[in-house]
Structure formats: C-alpha cells, structure tokens
Amino acid sequence: QVQLAESGGGWVQPGGSLTLRCATSGFSAFGSRWMYWIRQAPGKGLEWVSVINPDGEIIHYADSVQGRFTISRDNAKNTLYLQMKTLKPEDSALYFCAVPKKNGHATRPEYDYWGQGTQVTVSS
C-alpha cells in the first residue's frame, strides 16, 4: 500500500524559509515516477506548485513560486523535498506531495496518491 507522509510545515514570518519533506512507503516505483508538490489554501482549489521527473533533471515551478522554491528528491530514500524561501502570506496553504496518474507534467494533473498534507502558515 502506497503511503505518503508530508512533514516540515509550520508557522513562519514573511521572508522566512521552510523545507518540506515527503516520505514514502510501500512505493517501490518511486524512482520511476514523476512527483508533484501541490497546495490548497482555505477556500481555494488545488494548485500545483512544482513537479520533478524521476532523475531530477526536469523540473517545473508554478509562476507564483518560481525563483523562491526548490524541489528535489532522493530516490535512494524514496523521499521528496521542497525548499521554500522568501515565503509570502499568499504561500499559506496545506501542502501535499502527490503521484500523478501519468508521468509527465500536465496543466491540470490528476493524481493517484497523495498524503495528509502539512500546513504552512506565513504571517507576521
């Protein structure tokens, strides 16, 4: 059974940094799957934040986080990361890691698996 567990969220002041971690288990195919970070702010829909291909050489970011967030992965540890810098109040959301139904980046991706999420709150 595939399980994804996000951690690393919390409260931070604007301009601060956080690093999110997504530990996977029961997911022997981790090293061959594209992985997403997505987020959902209160009252809003899901927004994809970043996506990375299996070997980490193809990465995309949403315009809203380009230049501030860095996605990475450690296939030996079946773990996905999201380093977030220069955080803004509008980055406040529940952040999830997710496995897309199809490898590749889509404008409106659909997901096979996702975790429970980790809350990020940016405020002064």
pLDDT tens-digit profile of 22-47? Answer: 999 999 999 999 999 999 999 999 99
Average pLDDT, the chain: 96
Give the number of C-alpha atoms closer than 13 A to the C-alpha of residue 16, restricted to the C-beta side.
Answer: 17
pLDDT tens column, 93-108: 999 999 999 998 988 8
CA distance 79 to 8: 13
CA distance 48 to 16: 21
Name the β-bridge partners of 39.
Answer: 47, 95
- For residue 16, is pLDDT > 90? yes
Q: Are 52 and 59 in contact (CB under 8 A)?
A: yes
